[in-house]
Amino acid sequence: MPLAKRAMAECLGTFWLVFGGCGSAVLAAAFPNVGIGLLGVAFAFGLTVLTMAYAIGHISGCHLNPAVSVGLAVGGRFKASELPAYIVAQVIGGVFGAGVLYVIASGDSKFSLAGGFASNGYGAHSPGGYSLLACLVAEVVLTFMFLMIIHGATDRRAPAGFAPIPIGLALTLIHLIGIPVTNLSVNPARSTGPAVFVGGWAIEQLWLFWLAPIVGAAIAGVTYRTLFEQEPAVAAKSAGSGR
């Protein structure tokens, strides 16, 4: 598949992740009487990845996240030369998703960007008031675990065809943990989309939501490749033995 088409798939998928995930937080989380709350938002993010993994996984790999692309490149699963195209496409998709969400949300006379627009933040802009250090550690650790699950679920030794399920559930789980801390990013493109519209503090704090996820993803790539990746020679021997 040409790189341009794969990048377009990443753009579309990241649009869906930001529109669906952040949209659930902005439009539905606290809707009177039938709000979906934290649990609903967490599942919404997981479902965006699950659905797009089946829709475009066979086209682009369904990264939808610069940190995932970096982590897979470090882990030897993705060409580093293709990182710029994927990351640019993901960021464009994220901003486009946030833009469409803004158009819809602003149709409510009570809507205000002062509510945060599902942006990620630390300190005074953390949902639970968590410190910079706490937010940094949370984003690094949760991205690390997300990438470890992605590497394991997509390993050639794992059951074929099921990877989207554990990956989607993993994203749900880390949102359940991380929403009170930072609104949970683990994805620079997801953070950039809403921040572009909120501006001010959201742009000023955006550096953390690029740095921490990429660091966590890179550590996961090194860790999985070093500790758990099957050596080519071993893999060839196992294949020859019928295992």
What tokens were used for 60? 């682009």
CA pair distance 105, 102, nearest whole angstrom: 5
The angle at the Cα of 94, spanning 186 to 108, to the nearest 5 degrees, equals 110
As a whole number, mean pLDDT of residues 117-136 equals 97
CA pair distance 192, 242, nearest whole angstrom: 48
Question: How far apart, in Å, are the Cα atoms of 26 and each of 86, 95, 111, 112, 165?
Answer: 27, 15, 9, 10, 25
CATH 1.20.1080.10 fits 3-228, yes or no: yes
Q: Higher pLDDT residue, 33 or 176?
A: 176
Helix (H, G, I), strand (E, B) or coil at 71: helix
Which helix (H) or strand (E) covers residue 106, if one does?
none
Query: What is the per-residue pLDDT across 1-32, written as a single tens digit (0 to 9) for each?
Result: 899 999 999 999 999 999 999 999 999 987 66
The pLDDT confidence band at residue 237, using thresholds 50, 70 and 90, is very low
Which helix (H) or strand (E) covers residue 139, if one does?
helix 132-153
Compute the radius of gyration of the chain from its Cα atoms: 18
Please choose, from the candidates 29, 14, 51, the residue with its C-alpha nearest in 3D space to the C-alpha of residue 183: 29
pLDDT beyond 90 at 119:
yes
Query: What is the per-residue pLDDT across 179-214, written as a single tens digit (0 to 9) for each?
Result: 999 999 999 999 999 999 999 999 999 999 999 999
- The per-residue pLDDT for 32 is 62
What tokens were used for 55? 């829709």
pTM for this predicted structure: 0.93
Each domain of the chain, given as residue ranges in start order, spans: 3-228
- The per-residue pLDDT for 47 is 98
Query: What is the per-residue pLDDT across 141-158, written as a single tens digit (0 to 9) for each?
Result: 999 999 999 999 999 999
CA 177 to chain centre: 14
